[in-house]
């Protein structure tokens, strides 16, 4: 039966290039790492490393199974992270409704930071029209909403200002404003609603 220890030893040996370096990474004896890899090869009935040179090198089967072993170990870490989040009462799933007119360039860095801080939280993102954001939050279809400020805000929701986004006003060449009239710059705040 394939064990997580066998997979850890296999991945460490493949990534470090030797059983001794893998042993140092895993803080185990070299003989233990070599035994784990040998047992994995026996259990799979495949040679994962060529041992005819000074350093072991992956066989084609080893190269293919290395990717699979990494997936299994990553999922193990994910499972542990989800369990830790549940223990700490961190949400394991969040549905976010964002007005489809919200600037995309402002979202990429935000989502990257969220993923780094909460790697085990599943994030679902919806892009409804502005007036539908608050409705989704009110109806329970979204946990949080990000939208442009509206004249009338639902009193059942709490709001917090995220900041100001400058709006560039443009017009066609034939429009009266194109003849040299100027319009003062305006900004509009974006508001997330939460239940």
Quote the mean pLDDT of the chain. 82
pLDDT digits (tens, 9 = 90+) for 116-152: 888 878 888 888 876 688 888 888 888 888 887 766 7
pLDDT at 187: 47
| Cα separation, 76 vs 32, whole angstroms | 22
Question: CB neighbours (10 Å) of residue 67?
Answer: 9
Question: Does 1.10.10.10 match the CATH number of domain 4-87?
Answer: yes
CATH topology of domain 93-158+190-194: D-Maltodextrin-Binding Protein; domain 2 (3.40.190)
Q: How far apart are the first and last CA of the chain?
A: 48
Beta bridge partners of 170: none
Beta bridge partners of 165: 188
Whole-model pTM?
0.51
Q: Average of pLDDT values for 92-112?
A: 80
Q: Which carries the bigger pLDDT value, residue 109 or residue 20?
A: 20
Beta bridge partners of 124: 95
Q: Which carries the bigger pLDDT value, residue 144 or residue 185?
A: 144
pLDDT at 183: 55
Does the pLDDT of residue 21 top 80, yes or no? yes
pLDDT at 91: 67
**Residue 186: DSSP 8-state:** E
pLDDT at 82: 72
HEC profile for 70-105? HHHHHHHHHHHHHHHHHHCCCCCEEEEEECCCCCCH
| Cα separation, 91 vs 93, whole angstroms | 6
Q: Where are the domains of the chain?
A: 4-87, 93-158+190-194
pLDDT digits (tens, 9 = 90+) for 147-173: 877 667 777 887 777 777 676 778 888
Does the pLDDT of residue 194 top 60, yes or no? no
88-125 b/e (C-beta count within 10 Å ≥ 16 → b): eeeeeebbbbbbeebeeeeeeeeeeeeeeebebbeeee
* DSSP per-residue letters across 29-70: -HHHHHHHHHHHHHHHTS--EE-SSSS-EE-HHHHHHHHHHH
């Amino acid at each position: 039966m394939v064990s997580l220890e066998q997979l850890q030893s296999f991945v460490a040996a493949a990534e470090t290039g030797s059983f001794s370096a893998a042993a140092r990474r895993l803080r185990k004896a070299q003989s233990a790492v070599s035994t784990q890899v040998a047992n994995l090869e026996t259990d799979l009935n495949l040679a994962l490393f060529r041992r005819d040179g000074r350093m072991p090198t992956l066989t084609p089967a080893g190269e293919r199974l290395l990717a699979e072993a990494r997936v299994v170990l990553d999922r193990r870490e994910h499972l542990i992270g989800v369990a830790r989040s549940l223990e700490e009462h961190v949400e394991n799933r969040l549905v976010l409704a964002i007005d489809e007119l919200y600037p995309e360039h402002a979202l990429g860095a935000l989502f990257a930071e969220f993923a780094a801080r909460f790697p085990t939280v599943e994030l679902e993102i919806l892009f409804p029209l502005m007036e539908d954001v608050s409705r989704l939050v009110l109806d329970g279809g979204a946990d949080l909403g990000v939208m442009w400020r509206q004249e009338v805000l639902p009193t059942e929701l709490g709001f917090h200002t995220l900041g100001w986004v400058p709006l560039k006003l443009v017009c066609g060449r034939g429009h009266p404003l194109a003849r040299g009239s100027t319009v003062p710059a305006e900004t509009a705040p974006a508001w997330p609603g939460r239940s």
